[in-house]
Chain A
Amino acid sequence: MNEITKTDENRRSLVPASRVLEDNGKVQVRLEMPGVAQSDLEIRVEGSELTVTGKRQDPASHGTWLLRERRRGDFHKTFAVDSSIDLDKIDAELANGILTLTLPMKEAAKPRRIEIRSA
Chain B
Amino acid sequence: MAILKWKRASYPEASSEFDSLNLFERFQDDWDRLFGWSGFPEASGLFDRSVSPPIDVVETENEVVLWADVPGLDKKDLELSVASNVLTLKGEKKSPAKAEKDKDRVYRDETWTGSFHRSLSLPDSVDSDRVSAEFRDGVLKVTLAKKAEHKPRQIPVAVR
Task: Determine whether the beta carbon of B42 is less than 8 Å from that of A15.
Answer: yes
Stretch of A42-50, A61-69, A83-91, A101-109 that contacts chain B: A61-69
- On chain A, which size bracket covers the interface? 35 or more
Encode A25-36 as 1/0 by CB contact (under 8 A) with B.
000001011111
Whether A112 is near chain B, meaning CB under 8 Å from some CB there, is no
Which of B16, B66, B70, B109 is within 8 Å of A19, CB to CB? B109
By the criterion CB–CB under 8 Å, are A33 and B59 in contact?
no
A53 at interface, CB cutoff 8 A: no
With A30-B111, A34-B69, A34-B137: A14-B42 Cβ-Cβ less than 8 Å: yes
Pair B43/A18 contact, Cβ less than 8 Å = yes
Q: Is B139 close to A, CB under 8 A? A: yes
| B contacts with A, residue count (CB < 8 A) | 53
B43 touching A21 by the CB < 8 A rule?
no
Given A12-B29, A97-B70, A20-B106 contact (CB < 8 Å): yes
A30, B72: Cα distance in complex, Å = 10
Contact B38 A5 (CB under 8 A): yes
A14 and B43 in contact, given A22-B107, A68-B19 (Cβ under 8 angstroms): yes
Cβ-defined contact, B56 with A17, below 8 A: no
Pairs A-B, 7 closest by C-beta atoms = A97-B138, A97-B71, A69-B54, A34-B138, A63-B60, A34-B69, A67-B57
Question: Interface residues, chain B, CB within 8 Å of chain A?
Answer: 10, 16, 19, 21, 25, 29, 32-33, 36-44, 54-61, 64-74, 96, 98, 102, 105-111, 120, 122-123, 136-139
